[in-house]
Amino acid sequence: MSLREILLVSLFAADILGALVIGGFLIFSSKDMARVSRTEILKSLTCLFCVFAISNALFYLGLWLILR
């Protein structure tokens, strides 16, 4: 496996893992899930979407830099 392939796989894994960890933390950070309102859940999902969008942008920037 070449260095280029290792970098691509690690970027992809970091992208997915980062979105899952941060999303899970944002959604399940409340101790009492019965008291979580819909607006808090929507805020958490919006933050998750933003973090996922930023991580994807960084992933594709890294991919572009590696492949050019």
**Per-residue pLDDT reduced to its tens digit, 14-59:** 777 777 777 777 667 665 666 777 787 778 778 777 877 787 788 7
Residue 55: predicted pLDDT = 78
Asked whether the whole model's pTM tops 0.75, one would answer no
Residue 19: predicted pLDDT = 73
The CB density around residue 23, as the number of other CB atoms within 10 Å, is 17
Q: Rounded to the nearest 5°, which phi and psi values hold at 41?
A: -65, -40
Calculate the CA dihedral of residues 34, 39, 42, 48 and round it to 10 degrees. Answer: -80
Residue 31: predicted pLDDT = 59
The CB density around residue 15, as the number of other CB atoms within 10 Å, is 19
